[in-house]
Copies of this chain bind each other. A is one copy, B any other.
Amino acid sequence: MIRIGIAGYGYWGPNLARATAETGLARVEMIADRDPEALRRAAQRHPEARLTQDIAAMIADPAVDAVMIATPVHTHHELALAALMAAKHVLVEKPMADTAARAARLVEEAARRALVLQVDHTFIHTPAVQAIARLIGAGELGEIYYYDSTRVNLGLFQRDVSVVWDLAVHDFAILDHLLGAAPVAISASSAGFLTDSPENMAHLTVYYDSGAMAHLNVNWLAPVKIRQTLIGGSRRMVIYDDMQTSEKVKVYDRGASCGTNPLDRRVSYRLGDMHAPALSSKEALLSGIEDFLGCIDTGRRPVTDGESGLRVVRMLEAATLSSRMRGIPVDIGTLKEAS
């Protein structure tokens, strides 16, 4: 049984610990958090685990095979690197690191030591995103024209990261998973309406070589919660609405095409059926952790591996840079070399 150490038992750490126990494939060996109150809660729910306030000691503990890191973003690099250098497999919260250079360093270290490095981009493991990935993989949507996401709600304002690093990170990971191709440039506009708080609203456009365009609308100051993505393809279009309890993914056989007769180039429309595939109710976090544990066992790469985590951080950096320049597009390739 794989022995897991949990670093950070604040907001997300308890979920990692619970889901790890639920897999039945691993054991929560240790839980580390600097806050004694957090450890008290951990003791109640995981009487089987050893507890410590010293994260470094847990990382060094020989009884720990793999470390899950759920600490603040600016500590990800240091803790993940220490864990990899201690020959532990690593699952790190998103975003993987606070700069692309640091993310790249983690990828390098994991590769050198042949350790599993996974970023917890949980959305990739949701039944909805998996269903869309299958549709795209099977060519059902045709050529992808656009991905247009609205991810807004009231709060929770973060002190240390902007809405881009907190919310757009999900869409960047989904884009990376669904579109495969790397984007060429990002144009971002952002605004912050509360004094001394990071930006709470942003609009980001992601350009692809293929001509596809992605747009993300993220906002912590919206009156209601909206989680809606439109994906347009040449053959079909998708609406993915994560707030729906039923029919989260709807596939529309709709579209437009131009006549091929040069004398009559009128646009014709296709208004066909709509289809909403049944989705599994399996928890995404559980699937993600099963993937992590399976990779440790077999040596295969996780779906959300370090490279994907690095590509996401590159997009976050480009978006941050562009938003400081009021939307002047930032080339991703350039950034890539620079890192």
Interface: A172 (CB within 8 A) = no
Interface: A150 (CB within 8 A) = yes
CA distance A120 to B197 in the complex (A): 42
Chain B proximity mask over A68-90: 1 for CB below 8 Å, otherwise 0: 00000000000000000000000
Interface: A237 (CB within 8 A) = yes
Residues of B within 8 A of A146 (CB): 191, 193, 201, 219, 221
CA distance A215 to B110 in the complex (A): 41
Interface: A265 (CB within 8 A) = yes
Evaluate whether A205 and B207 lie within 8 angstroms (CB atoms) in the complex, with A191-B145, A247-B274, A275-B274 already known.
no
Interface: A169 (CB within 8 A) = no
**Which residue of the partner chain, among B230, B252, B267, B275, contacts A194 with CB atoms under 8 Å?**
B267
Copies of chain A in the complex: 4
Interface: A95 (CB within 8 A) = no
CA distance A199 to B246 in the complex (A): 25
Stretch of A173-181, A284-292, A326-334 with 4 or more beta carbons under 8 angstroms from chain B: A326-334
Interface: A157 (CB within 8 A) = yes
Chain B proximity mask over A236-261: 1 for CB below 8 Å, otherwise 0: 01110001011100101111111000
Is there an interface contact between B154 and A258, defined as CB atoms closer than 8 Å?
no
Interface: A152 (CB within 8 A) = yes
Is there an interface contact between B276 and A205, defined as CB atoms closer than 8 Å?
no
A233 to chain B, nearest CB (A): 10
Is there an interface contact between B237 and A232, defined as CB atoms closer than 8 Å?
no
Is there an interface contact between B187 and A221, defined as CB atoms closer than 8 Å?
no
Instruction: Tell me the residues in window 206-243 of chain A with beta carbons closer than 8 Å to chain B beta carbons.
Output: 207, 211, 213, 215, 217, 219-225, 230, 232, 234, 237-239, 243
Instruction: Tell me the residues in window 264-307 of chain A with beta carbons closer than 8 Å to chain B beta carbons.
Output: 265, 267, 269, 271-278
Is there an interface contact between B225 and A245, defined as CB atoms closer than 8 Å?
yes
CA distance A238 to B221 in the complex (A): 12
Is there an interface contact between A269 and B327, defined as CB atoms closer than 8 Å?
no
Is there an interface contact between A254 and B211, defined as CB atoms closer than 8 Å?
no
Interface: A137 (CB within 8 A) = no
Most buried by B among A148, A232, A329: A232
Interface: A318 (CB within 8 A) = no
CA distance A189 to B146 in the complex (A): 12
A179 to chain B, nearest CB (A): 14
22 A-B contacts, Cβ less than 8 Å apart? A145-B191, A145-B221, A150-B150, A152-B230, A154-B256, A187-B326, A193-B234, A195-B258, A201-B232, A217-B217, A220-B256, A223-B250, A223-B252, A224-B246, A225-B245, A225-B246, A253-B278, A273-B275, A274-B275, A274-B276, A322-B327, A326-B329
Give chain A's interface residues, CB within 8 Å of chain B: 145-146, 148, 150, 152, 154-155, 157, 185, 187, 189, 191, 193-197, 201, 203, 205, 207, 211, 213, 215, 217, 219-225, 230, 232, 234, 237-239, 243, 245-247, 250, 252-258, 265, 267, 269, 271-278, 322, 326-329
Q: List the 8 closest pairs (A to B, CB-CB), nearest first.
A: A187-B327, A223-B252, A223-B237, A274-B276, A189-B205, A157-B267, A145-B193, A191-B213
